[in-house]
Amino acid sequence: MTQTVYIGLGSNLNEPRQQVLQAIAKLKNLARSTLMCTSSLYLTPPWGIEDQPPFINAVIKMHTQLQPHALLDELLAIEVAQSRVRDIRYGPRTIDCDILLYGEQQITTERLSVPHPYLDKRSFVVIPLYEIAPMLILPSGIALVEVVKQYQNEKSKN
């Protein structure tokens, strides 16, 4: 069965723009999957650890027949191929590929949490996701547009 999935991409090392574009190119060729659309690339400040270079972030929408863990394995293989090193949580990276949403499913295993646990807490995910799916309703039942409005309200207060 084909599922609609949203994947977040981010990089802040080794030509971040090229890293994200390279990951997108690999995802275009992913077996049993079709890349439907890609957000713009966004330059964003680091999240978690602030003493590191800014990130390039994007979100893609795909249709896939891959099961969630098989898709995760493919994303991890892309990270390895692009020399991702996991030594500092929230630290600098060549590429990060996260499953944000997998259809309407809610998945919690040792290896995978979907929806992504911080999906609505990170503007670098919310804004590009909204660009490509403005009418999206999150599995929590909250419309993505409402999350965007919260960010806009918080930003206007600052």
Catalytically active residues, by annotation: 84, 93, 96, 98
Cβ-contact 96, 79 below 8 angstroms = yes
Contacts 24+ apart (CB under 8 A), 108-117: 109/69, 111/69, 111/72, 112/68, 112/69, 112/72, 114/68, 115/139, 115/140, 116/8
